[in-house]
A = this chain, B = another copy of it.
Amino acid sequence: MKALVYTAPRTLEYRDVPDPTSDTVIEVKAVGICGSDMHAWAGHDDRRPAPLILGHEAAGVTLDGRRVTVNPLVTCGTCDACKTGRDNLCTTRQIISMPPREGAFAQMLSMPEQNLVTVPDDVPLAKAALAEPIACGWHAVRLAKRALDRPLNQSHCLVMGGGAIGLGAALVLAAQGAKSITIAETNPARRAMIKGPFDVIDPRETALPTVDLVIDGVGFAATRASASAATRPGGVIMHIGLGDSDPGLDIRRLTLQEITFIGTYTYTAEDFRETAQAIFDGVLGPLDWFEERPLAEGAAAFSDIAGGRVAAPKIILRP
């Protein structure tokens, strides 16, 4: 099969690789480019050493003809975390695009059967591939509701970043009735693309509102600093982004104002299924904010994202 192989920092080669054979084999029809793929491509993720097939936001068709979207997180089902409903923290978790599992920027992908969610015939597979990034926000909102001291419908919310993680989280907040939602996004072209019940602001030009909940879908020192300042006393910061590992949090304010900071990683299998169902049910809006390109032209897509030349919150590649 053909695959887009990460061979060295900032280098992707579209080339022949062996077909996968284990588990259930899926012909990949749509696969999104994630910020973490960008980090790996830039050579900044030591969990993803070259040579490697990246990509973990996939939907496709199994060899026996089922249309599916793929939960890329493979968990054991038997450890303490798995048995207590926190399977995203499985002690032996694996995710495709990280050794020993190859990723989905390829014509085919192998996955355990239990990682597949069937997609209704009327839902395009490119839209179904958004289940993965949106599930991150679904999970974060679920944890946030538990941590907040008031219901979501009384909570003002701020989302840092209007990429797929941030926008996905904002759509989940909207679907679940948050009182208000502001998205802070610095890219003007992307700001113009974002539609929904949100205030969309440029955080360099407009003061951030004071809110009950911040969801940081970016995860840089600057966004953590902004989140620290914008969260009201007693409020909550959900931290999804893995932008950098620099400081940024205002530890003193978090302490004196009793702010909760919760790191969140992916989603549980149940979160993933619920997110996919919400997409199928249409409760997360039209989900038309992605751009599609051929997998063979993936290298240019990575360069365009890195160069700030992409307005869409998500590029989906078609093998």
Which stretch from A4-12, A122-130, A248-256, A300-308 is at the chain B interface?
A: A248-256
Closest chain-B Cβ to A221's Cβ sits at a distance in Å of 9
Q: A245: nearest residue on chain B (CB-CB)?
A: B252
A239 touches B (CB below 8 Å): yes
Report A310 CB to chain B, min CB distance, Å. 24
Assess whether B254 is in contact with A84, with CB atoms less than 8 Å apart: no
Residues from chain B with a CB closer than 8 A to the CB of A234 are 81, 86, 89
Q: Does A264 contact B (CB under 8 A)?
A: yes
Q: How far is the CB of A214 from chain B (nearest CB, A)?
A: 14
Please measure, in the bound complex, the distance between the C-alpha atom of A242 and the C-alpha atom of B259, giving whole angstroms. 14
Convert A69-111 into 0s and 1s, putting 1 for each residue whose CB lies closer than 8 angstroms to a CB of B: 0000000000001001010110100000000000000000000
- Report whether A255 and B251 are in contact in the complex, using a CB–CB cutoff of 8 Å: no
Q: Is there contact, CB below 8 Å, between A258 and B254?
A: no
- Decide yes or no whether A120 CB sits under 8 A from chain B: no
A149 at the interface (CB under 8 A from B): yes
User: Nearest Cβ in chain B — how far from A271, in angstroms?
Assistant: 12
Q: Are A233 and B149 in contact (CB under 8 A)?
A: no
A147:B147 contact, CB within 8 angstroms:
yes
A257 within 8 A of B: yes
The minimal Cβ–Cβ distance linking A97 to chain B, given in whole angstroms, is 15
A197 on the interface (CB 8 Å rule)? no
Q: Which of A91, A241, A256: most chain B CB closer than 10 A?
A: A256
State the number of copies, please.
2
In-complex Cβ contact of A261 among B149, B219, B241, B254 (8 A):
B254
Contacts of A245 in B (CB 8 A): 250-252
Q: Answer whether residue A50 sits at the interface, using C-beta atoms and an 8 A cutoff.
A: no
Taking residues whose C-beta sits less than 8 angstroms from the other chain, chain A's interface range is: 35 or more
| A156 vs chain B, min Cβ distance (A) | 13
Instruction: Provide the A263-276 mask, 1 if CB < 8 A to any CB of B, else 0.
Output: 11100000000000
In the complex, how many angstroms separate the beta carbon of A166 from the nearest chain B beta carbon?
15
Whether A224 is near chain B, meaning CB under 8 Å from some CB there, is: yes
Query: Which residues of A (274-318) have their CB < 8 Å from a CB of B?
Result: none
Residue numbers in B under 8 Å from A263 (CB-CB):
251, 253-261
Tell me whether A262 and B265 are in contact in the complex, defined as CB-CB below 8 angstroms, given that A149-B84, A240-B255, A242-B252 are known contacts. Answer: no
- Give the shortest distance, in Å, between A215 (CB) and chain B (any CB): 13
Judge whether A15 is part of the interface by a CB distance below 8 angstroms: no
Closest Cβ–Cβ distance, residue A298 to chain B (whole Å): 26
Contact (A247, B239) CB under 8 Å given A147-B260, A263-B258, A264-B258: no
Answer whether residue A150 sits at the interface, using C-beta atoms and an 8 A cutoff. yes
Question: Which residues on the B side are within 8 Å of A246 (C-beta)?
Answer: 251
Interface residues of A (CB under 8 A from B): 81, 84, 86, 88-89, 91, 147, 149-150, 219, 224, 233-234, 239-242, 245-265
Q: Can you report 7 residue pairs joining A to B where beta carbons are below 8 Å apart?
A: A89-B233, A147-B260, A241-B255, A245-B250, A245-B252, A248-B251, A251-B263
Q: Which 9 A-B pairs have the closest CB atoms?
A: A247-B247, A255-B263, A254-B263, A89-B233, A261-B261, A245-B252, A260-B262, A89-B234, A258-B265
